[in-house]
Amino acid sequence: MSNLKVLFGKRVKKFRTKKKLSQEELAERIGIAVTNMGKIEHGESFVTAPTLEKLADVLDIEVKYLFDFEDYKSIDDIKNELHIDLQSDANVHLLYRLYKMLINE
């Protein structure tokens, strides 16, 4: 299993779930078998060029975004996640210890 296939599969899954599509729905809309869709998302298979175009079209994105593996979260997303994680005292202590380890103090 190549790293490129795995990263590509993760991107496909990310955009599929963002569109609230099941693997079955996406597979049907791009004209492939559901088993192939699962293999793509797990990095076991890749798509043909025509299927790649259909995939981007159904997911409402440009093809290049399926290959954008530098997937960083926005500052607002990070703040929201930290806010949720900081709701418990245990998480606050854990985050503080991790922070201290990272800055070597």
Cα dist from 85 to 7, 75, 82, 89, whole Å: 27, 15, 5, 9
Which residue is listed with tokens 């530098």?
Answer: 70
Question: Has residue 9 got a pLDDT over 60?
Answer: yes
Domains in the chain and their CATH numbers? 3-66 (1.10.260.40), 72-105 (no CATH)
Are 51 and 45 within 8 A, CB to CB?
Answer: no
Question: Would the pTM of this model clear 0.75, i.e. be above it?
Answer: no
CA-to-CA distance for 32 and 35, rounded, in angstroms? 8
DSSP per position, 84-100: HHTTSHHHHHHHHHHHH
Alpha-carbon distance of 90 to 18, in angstroms, equals: 31
Identify the pLDDT of residue 105.
Answer: 52
Mean pLDDT of the residues in the chain = 84
Output the pLDDT for position 67.
Answer: 87
- Residue 3 scores a pLDDT above 90: no
Q: How confident is the model at residue 81 (pLDDT cuts 50, 70, 90)?
A: low
